[in-house]
Amino acid sequence: QLVESGGGSVQAGGSLRLSCAASTGTFRSACMGWFRQAPGKEREGVAAISPGSGTAFYADSVQGRFTISRDNAKKMLYLEMNSLKLEETAMYYCAARPMGACYLDNWHRTVTYKYWGPGTQVTVS
């Protein structure tokens, strides 16, 4: 129900825009998040966006460089990534928490998301 795109190879300092297409009818009311997982590391929350207010949450490491956005009419989620760093090489996943809000204390917890996409690879060199 979720399919990411937009990954690829980019030089350090460069930019990429990830997209996530959702087929679920509950997209409009879902907390949507972006996560990433580097080889040998746990999956971590990058950003999330609330369904109603559009309030965004970011990991400290990406604050000011990444921007999450959503288009409810198109059922699309986006992640604009700027000033990419070598250590941000990872598989990036979008995730959905249907009928659930994003909260400051748990938006980054993987167990709170029900649907996941297969991921898109981002390589920074």
Average pLDDT over residues 84-99: 96
Pairing of strands 31-37, 44-49: antiparallel
* Torsion sign across C-alpha atoms 56, 103, 2, 72: negative
- What percentage of the chain carries pLDDT values higher than 90? 88
E-strand stretches of 6-114: 8-10, 16-22, 31-37, 44-49, 56-58, 66-71, 76-81, 90-97
SS3 79: strand
Average pLDDT over residues 17-24: 93
- List, for residues 31-88, the tens digit of each pLDDT value: 999 999 999 999 999 999 999 888 999 999 999 999 999 999 999 999 999 999 999 9
Average pLDDT over residues 85-96: 98
